[in-house]
Amino acid sequence: MAIQVEMDGRLFNLHTKDSTYQMVADQHGILLHTWYGKRIDGENLADLIFHADVGFSGNPPEAGENRKYSLDALPQELPSDGVGDYRESCISLVHEDGSMAADFRFESYEILPGAYQVKGMPALYDGAQGADGSMTLVINMRERASKVAVQLLYGVFEEENVITRALRVENRGESDVILEKCLSCCLDFQFGEYDMITFSGRHAMERGFERARIRHARQEVGSRRGTSSHQYNPSVILCGPDATENFGDCYGLCLVYSSNFTASAQMDQRGQTRAVMGIHPEHFSFRLKKGEVFDAPQVILSYSDAGLARLSHQYHKILREHMCRGKYQFARRPVLLNNWEATYFNFNKEKLTALARQAAELGIEMLVLDDGWFGKREDDNSGLGDWFVNEKKLGGTLKELGEEIHALGMKFGLWFEPEMISEDSDLYRAHPDWALTIPGREPNRSRNQLVLDMSREDVREYLFERMTDILEHAPIDYVKWDANRSICDIYSHVYTGDRNGEVYHRFVLGVYDLLEKLLTGFPDLLLEGCSGGGGRFDAAMLYYSPQIWCSDNTDAVNRLSIQYGTSFFYPVSSMGAHVSAVPNHQTGRVTPFTTRGHVALSGSFGYELDINKMTEEEKELVKGQIADFYKYYSLTHEGTYYRLTGLNERFCAWEFVDEEKDHALETLVMTSREGNPLPVHTTVKGLSPEKTYRCSENGHVRSGRTWMNSGLTLSRVPREYESVLIEWTAV
């Protein structure tokens, strides 16, 4: 059984194929966390907890004279604020009398078939007709002195080695309660040392890999920007100090949320490690009236005893098969050409159709019209919010342009930035209260734009009406949904006063609501997420957009580190990646056209340049790259991904292996080159030991076991920035 309950309903084991998560409600109703790791047989491991009289760690009243029982030392599932656990808490309440204690005790449990859902937010779902056999454990907790209840929700995806965690808070009392902190997950480790791997960066350099030992000082990443952010990704790994790609214990925590978040870890005074994850408590305050419920977002947990690679594979599979949805969840995405780096705002119908004609001749399947097609929008200082087609600029209707592109055998895509508004817009002049600005204060501007209050239903109704009108009256197959600034100046004219602490959360719920309505109305639409590139690259957005623009930085060498960091949690099929012009618009670097193509092949493939300025040789290369995209699609988008090198080496290499293990593809990019160069040797992974493979690099035929044990030495050392594709084919 995936969920095993013993001890008269007080001992809970959540079993996946290779792991077990165990908790037990003790004699005082404290829900203790006893184990998460390799699969066990389900015996009660509460005896692993060492009880001692810990100085300055108090004892709850039920403990009586037992000074060895302290919440400040116990591993818990729901550590709460103000009742004697001085470590990081998951929940904090303010009661009517101003007191701030939150003392939750076990009450009951329920086992349900299938995957639970989180109201208003994305969550992992079961496959067709629940065939995956996932299960849900609901544990009911009650606050001792008030009538606040918490439901802890645990989902078990047994074959995928995934356990999910979320919680629901309900006010069952007569008076209001203010929820000031509500984190979704706590992991307490009683023994061992751990590293914390995080993915940090900035605009155009997202998801850089960082690894540091967890010490007594609190180590935290997070966002207060209103999006999951370029700066930190809402996914972290805790692993043993000796863990590598292929060895060691690794624990992943991936938050299904697109707004402010926190993820922290800290060693306590007794050497125990606590990791928590959820909505960032800063700028968060949620008033619950009688009968009202607050749902916290889901955290996806996964454990690997075989290193980082297996952990990544488990996340790739669960996100691709149980988070992504819709027509393009598994269908091959079209090869696209985005006009942005070709024209920026300076385009007309003739330029666009010229791009489309040349693109069609080369085998490109879709033209995407980026920013500048609506309102008064000749630069990024005006027009946002006025979602009306600028027919004068286009020289006709959007329908006519789309039909002309379709007549070439191509699809047609369109850029939107629905969450933003320009002060120089008809919408702002008509509804200044729709923007997030604080009365009496001059607002902060970013990219000379403000943010619409997406918590307001009337704002979402306007956006849905305008987007629907455009999508219904033109043949549009794809939408790029962008958001080009962080959020501040939080003030809602609807959620006023002390309700303003709810706005960040209600904002993202509004974004999800509009996305859901749009995709329900246009189920065949391919949506690509974007926030200045990778500023909202998170699991929740994959629920709506099976691909996300990985970064505004299209430099092939910078993309190596960006896509490397992204790969630890997110499948390659979700990474938007394009071939762009050189010198690169972000870095000025010149890289070979072939290298740019090979890097972009490890993503949802496309082009971002003026193809009418390409040489005939480059045009032939485009045809070959598109042929490679088709040829290798089952590998790059459906196969198993392996990181063969880390960063900061002379070369970067990665590999794909198809499901049958008949075909493997390695990509290698030389990032630096010296005189009298050393040989280039790479490992080989994922082949079947019993099968025999021919290598395209040297024509040698060897068993999969031999290839994986011996690796491959290239016959020559590539030039700097040169790339190589190497295939292994079963014979």
513 counts as catalytic? no
Q: Is 236 helix (H, G, I), strand (E, B) or coil?
A: strand
Q: Considering the candidates 426, 618, 720, 727, report the single residue annotated as catalytic.
A: 618
Q: Is 625 helix (H, G, I), strand (E, B) or coil?
A: helix
Q: What are phi and psi of 568, to 5 degrees?
A: -70, -30
Q: Which two tokens stand for residue 105?
A: 């005790």
- DSSP states of 353-364: HHHHHHHHHHT-
Q: In degrees to the nearest 10, what's the CA dihedral of 141, 144, 149, 150?
A: -40
538 counts as catalytic? yes
Q: Considering the candidates 170, 371, 538, 555, report the single residue annotated as catalytic.
A: 538
Assess whether the previous peptide bond of 61 is cis (omega < 30° from 0): no
- Residue among 282, 323, 283 at smallest CA distance from 538: 323
Q: Which two tokens stand for residue 155?
A: 């989902």
Asked whether 139 and 109 are in contact (CB, 8 A), the reply is yes
At a CB cut-off of 8 Å and minimum separation 6, what does 344 contact? 372
Q: Which two tokens stand for residue 584?
A: 């690169």
Taking the C-alpha atoms of residue 25 and residue 5, their distance in angstroms, rounded to an integer, is: 11
For the beta carbon of residue 730, count every other beta carbon within 10 angstroms.
Answer: 16
Q: Which two tokens stand for residue 12?
A: 């809970």
For the chain, the distance separating the N- and C-terminal CA atoms, rounded to the nearest angstrom, is 41
Alpha-carbon distances of 282 from 260, 300, 588, 680, rounded to whole Å: 9, 23, 39, 49
Strands (E), 225-326: 235-239, 250-255, 261-267, 273-279, 286-288, 293-295, 299-304
Active site residues: 538, 618
